[in-house]
Structure 1
């Protein structure tokens, strides 16, 4: 949980006060090494608070005379991260976009809570593989392991704040970082355990396994846009809807898209009955609608019925427009449709379209980002095998949410064929048009015509499907 920090921090800057100012104004300054664009944008929830342009030394400064205290996030496209601010804060940020999260350091008032939050963010990423190995354990063993890890983090937090003037709100935010990430594991456990242990039914759990649920707050406005809290709610309502349906819906169809529709109807009903906070309600309704659409891949009468229900419950016009756009994108990714008009850049800096890349070839477009190092290694190994099995296919990598310099550097470092690698600068357009809900997504096309717009680089090329997917 300890990272090596720079021995000398910000000597080129004015020193940042370690004590909170008597003024209510907030000063948030920083420097970005290897910037990927000219601006830093500060948000409270989903609303822009202010933006600051980098100067000639890549420094930025916000002077905020009146803020809504609490959790914010700052965006330096294509990356973003959280920052907790209270009135009178004077905060300094330093980061290098070549390792955005790993290099991020806060200095000044409230540095303790902000550095702790980024440490926890990195820690949970590192724990991912370890937790996967726990899912095969019995409920009692799993519960003990997760609780032990959580207690270690709580102790780390308590050691960090000894003698520090940390507000109750700042402490609550740090605890939320620990608690909700840990609770996510428990919500996932019955489903991941069934898969990892090859059990035919979900394992029975003692009533104490979910003890934490009695303390849940479904209407914490401060956490409505905090990813651990939001992701916990997604997993929690998924768990509740499945268990409720398993116990009460004997007529549920056992598989296929109708099952998916049925479960998502349960989710919407549960959210509607338990969540009152508007932002969290709308965010969760959006998640259910997006999850449903991204998993069905086809649009039929049931789809319209479900989305009509979503439109009646959601009070967020932006989310409603997003779902309409998602409808359109799904329709445009159907088999035999022409590839969308997406532009990427090659290693020489030239702009090219996906259509031009796929002409006269069966082309598999796959995606990667520099920040997901484990995925990058896994997909690289996977491609080595696929290229042997499918010598008549070309496999084209499109890098997303990665600075152009870092992308070019990684291509050389990893010895990748630069003719097969492209940089996707407009992440939002590529994601929304090609519906990239996870980095395992791939799009298969031939002569610029879509063969499969919803393929998976790890699952769509198994031996049983090779013959169907191979295009001569």
Structure 2
């Protein structure tokens, strides 16, 4: 994260000059945002807020960019370089320059100019929280009282540090809102996660053993905070919070004692609680949609989908999200175990078009990869090779989900030092992705030698897949 002294002086000098040059551009309700991307993943960056793209800004020959916000709403925005994204706080009259190396994206991100101190504090807080995840997991194995003491100590230190920073730098109201939310909602998240990640007892038993005031912080939750609606700590907390309170509700009227995210009754409770507690339509619809899609992706019991779908469509007011979920449900009905894999055309390395089911000659695993996701591309191919070596009676078939020519597909594989073996891409990628519900990209199909689906939602990285494969081969 630290630059070499000489380079640092040169870099800061150029930033100061640039910021002074751009002060004349910054008017009453405008702000400047610019910087340098080292080892860029693309020729441009995308600036967005709340999943809405604000603009696409192209890099110049030196991999630098400039952008002027005009008549904008102050708050947290994101920039995306084609590979990773990070947030930044921008307010009227700010003039912010960034410098980031995509090889160490978050760790290398540095802000300079008007608004730099608040943004550097927020990114440092983000990195500090990431580092503390392992510590939170470790202390979650303690008894509830000891856990609470250590977790409160972490929170109080952060709040004390923030208080000193705010006094010294006369920080803005928006900054204080986001910084406090980061500290508090990560603290709340760890409290909600405790019954799930403490391994001493079942979740039901842990709930019974908790002190009466363990969840008192829930009285402070604002379920409809539109300022924080896109802020990661707030969004992550709400998701886990509803997992937790739904489980507590579920235990009241069921004989279950363990968490089961595939339980229909549990998920019905969750949608009901979201509907009862959240009034802001954006936050409510997003939570409903997230949990509906999560259930669909987790459960293999297609017969449960319509029941939860009915509850979801009654509660959500987002027509676009509802239509998309209905499509996913209908897609999985076609992918029910025992059904023949849908009629989809794939293209081999010689540009020969074939039906997917016709290339299946024996029990097979079909996995997918995205050229834009280099990490998954590599680890999925490594795991596929391992499975193929262990089970030579199987076919392991790889399919690229991008709209791509065979020549370009070969270049991607060669660039990543991967063999072009049993590789295909879709003739119509968009249609195939919808028909096979290939989201997320790491889902895997297991099919028998007749191209009948055994499992449409397998996970190559789950050790349980080997038991499934052995069961299939021993039939």
TM norm structure 1: 0.79
What aligned pairs does 1:237-256 form with structure 2 within 5 A after superposition? 237-247=242-252, 249-250=253-254
* Higher RCO, 1 vs 2 (CA within 8 Å, ≥6 residues apart): 1
Match of 1:266 in 2: 269
- Is residue 71–residue 83 contact of structure 1 (8 Å, CA) maintained in 2? yes
> Quick one: distance in 2 between partners of 1:243 and 1:372?
40
> Quick one: distance in 1 between partners of 2:130 and 2:344?
34
1:166-220 Cα deviation digits (max 9, x unpaired): 2021111012122212221211111221xx2254843111123223222111111
> Quick one: distance in 1 between partners of 2:462 and 2:80?
34
User: How far off is 1:233 after superposition?
Assistant: 0.8
Decide whether aligned partners of structure 1 residues 431 and 220 sit closer, same or farther in structure 2, where only a CA change above 3 A counts. farther
> Quick one: distance in 2 between partners of 1:326 and 1:84?
36
Q: Which runs of 5+ in 2 are unaligned?
A: 403-408
User: How far off is 1:89 after superposition?
Assistant: 1.0
> Quick one: distance in 1 between partners of 2:42 and 2:355?
25
> Is residue 148 of structure 2 the alignment partner of residue 166 of structure 1?
no
User: How far off is 1:11 after superposition?
Assistant: 6.4
Match of 1:34 in 2: 39
What aligned pairs does 1:2-401 form with structure 2 within 5 A after superposition? 3-5=1-3, 7-8=7-8, 9=11, 14-16=17-19, 23-158=28-163, 160-161=165-166, 163-193=168-198, 196-199=199-202, 201-203=204-206, 204-247=209-252, 249-250=253-254, 260-300=263-303, 302-335=304-337, 336-338=339-341, 355=356, 359-360=360-361, 362-365=364-367, 386=387, 389-393=390-394
User: How far off is 1:58 after superposition?
Assistant: 2.7
User: How far off is 1:68 after superposition?
Assistant: 0.7
1:298-322 Cα deviation digits (max 9, x unpaired): 433x532332232222122221122
> Quick one: distance in 2 between partners of 1:164 and 1:354?
64
> Quick one: distance in 2 between partners of 1:391 and 1:366?
20
Decide whether aligned partners of structure 1 residues 97 and 429 sit closer, same or farther in structure 2, where only a CA change above 3 A counts. farther
1:400-419 Cα deviation digits (max 9, x unpaired): 99xx9x9879945xxx6575
TM norm structure 2: 0.78
1:351-377 Cα deviation digits (max 9, x unpaired): 99994997556235276999998x999
1:277-299 Cα deviation digits (max 9, x unpaired): 12111111112211222222343
- Is residue 339–residue 445 contact of structure 1 (8 Å, CA) maintained in 2? no
> Quick one: distance in 1 between partners of 2:38 and 2:355?
32
- Is residue 447–residue 453 contact of structure 2 (8 Å, CA) maintained in 1? yes
- Is residue 298–residue 330 contact of structure 1 (8 Å, CA) maintained in 2? no
> Quick one: distance in 1 between partners of 2:371 and 2:126?
18
User: How far off is 1:394 after superposition?
Assistant: 5.5
Q: 1:467 aligns with which of 466, 470, 473?
A: 470
- Is residue 340–residue 433 contact of structure 1 (8 Å, CA) maintained in 2? no
Cα RMSD for the two superposed structures: 4.4
User: How far off is 1:50 after superposition?
Assistant: 2.7
Decide whether aligned partners of structure 1 residues 126 and 429 sit closer, same or farther in structure 2, where only a CA change above 3 A counts. farther
Decide whether aligned partners of structure 1 residues 56 and 386 sit closer, same or farther in structure 2, where only a CA change above 3 A counts. same
Decide whether aligned partners of structure 1 residues 27 and 363 sit closer, same or farther in structure 2, where only a CA change above 3 A counts. same
User: How far off is 1:143 after superposition?
Assistant: 1.7
Match of 2:406 in 1: none
User: How far off is 1:324 after superposition?
Assistant: 2.1
- Is residue 35–residue 58 contact of structure 1 (8 Å, CA) maintained in 2? yes
Count residues in correspondence.
456
